[in-house]
Amino acid sequence: MVDITHKSNSLRKAIASAIVSVSKLETIEAIQHKRIPKGDIFEFSRVAGLFAVKKTSELIPDCHPLPIEYTQISHEIKGLDILIHVEVHTIYKTGVEVEAMHGASVVALTIYDMLKPIDKGVEIKNIRLESKKGGKSDTNENYDHLNAAIIVCSDSVSKGLAEDKSGMMAKSKLEKFGLNIKYRETIPDDFDTIQKRVKSLSDAHDLILFVGGTGLGPYDLTPDAIKPLIEKEIPGIIETARQYGQQRISTAMLSRGVAGFIGKALVITTPGSPNGTKETIDALFPAVLHVFKIREGQRH
């Protein structure tokens, strides 16, 4: 199965459809007047579809087990066609489009099975996904107009005694969202140097990512230097990053990150370890980039 442990829960929705076509009007009349020998095809197929949605991961090898929190199954007769719609919701790390399509297919198969004694020309067709919502499909936007800077705060890296793995990690991940990395530098863990760099970059960049110095060590000064300069703090950014990290490592609670606007720039701090940097970016991006649309006057 595909690894989804790096993803965050979000509301996911999917709607799938299918069509069952009969060969004669008498079949439709039998359905409408509840004269099908095997019973009410709508009630039986609805129950079968509910079971199918919930059991998708047991039958489709690469589907993850997930909590099904809402399912609606509806039928509509149009001419000689029975139109089936299945809507599924969950709050989880991956979508429910396969669950919706599996439900639609089993609803159709159940109807086929119940109608075949009286109509040998029944046909199933057009099982398809009508729509999906949640995850990447909601944030598939272009951010190539945003300029970003990455500043790594580390005495050892700035002196050439350690490799800048975290800075490279941050650059690689931010570029995947289309951001222009216009400036990248490693500086010592120094209060005045950190403040000077923020002030010099805040008017020319949309995003400034400070990597390192968010812990409790004697030289972890990044939040202390940045917080007094923040003009509009956004606590939810760091709350989200910390909660995400806490679900993966118990010591994430000790991170002292800060985030907010300084000038035109959104400034975000991340832990200095490569894994801490990766997890912070995974937790926040690309959703956090919505702040720039709000800044430009768009509503939430």
Catalytic residues: 113
pLDDT at 135: 74
Of 84, 108, 135, the one marking the end of a domain is 135
Give the sheet arrangement for strand 259-262, strand by strand: 180-187, 147-153, 207-211, 265-270, 259-262, 232-233
Residues 153 and 96 in one domain: no
CA–CA separation, 212 and 193 (whole Å): 14
Of 100, 135, 170, the one marking the end of a domain is 135
Residues 119 and 209 in one domain: no
Tokens 């149009």 -> residue:
78
Residues 198 and 84 in one domain: no
Q: How many domains does the chain have?
A: 2
Cβ atoms of 114 and 261 within 8 Å: the answer is no
Give the sheet arrangement for strand 81-92, strand by strand: 70-78, 81-92, 10-21, 123-133
pLDDT tens-digit profile, the chain (300 residues): 899 888 888 899 999 999 999 999 999 999 999 999 999 999 999 999 999 999 999 999 999 999 999 999 999 999 999 999 999 999 999 999 999 999 999 999 999 999 999 999 999 999 999 999 987 656 667 788 899 999 999 999 988 899 999 999 999 999 999 999 999 999 999 999 999 999 999 999 999 999 999 999 999 999 999 999 999 999 999 999 999 999 999 999 999 999 999 999 999 999 999 999 999 999 999 999 989 888 776 565
CA–CA separation, 280 and 237 (whole Å): 10
pLDDT at 141: 72
Of 135, 156, 190, the one marking the end of a domain is 135
123-125-127 Cα angle (round to 5) = 140
Residues 122 and 158 in one domain: no
Residues 154 and 287 in one domain: yes
Q: What is the CATH number of the domain that holds 154?
A: 3.40.980.10
Q: How far is CA 27 from CA 38, 75, 101, in A?
A: 13, 15, 25
pLDDT at 227: 97
Parent domain of 168: 147-295
Whether 63 maps to a domain, the answer reads yes
The tokens for 87 are 């809507």
pLDDT at 6: 85
pLDDT at 138: 62
pLDDT at 295: 73
Whether 179 maps to a domain, the answer reads yes
Residue 272 CB neighbours (<10 A): 25
Whether 300 maps to a domain, the answer reads no
Residues 90 and 229 in one domain: no
The tokens for 45 are 């197929």
pTM for the model: 0.77
pLDDT at 137: 59
Whether 141 maps to a domain, the answer reads no
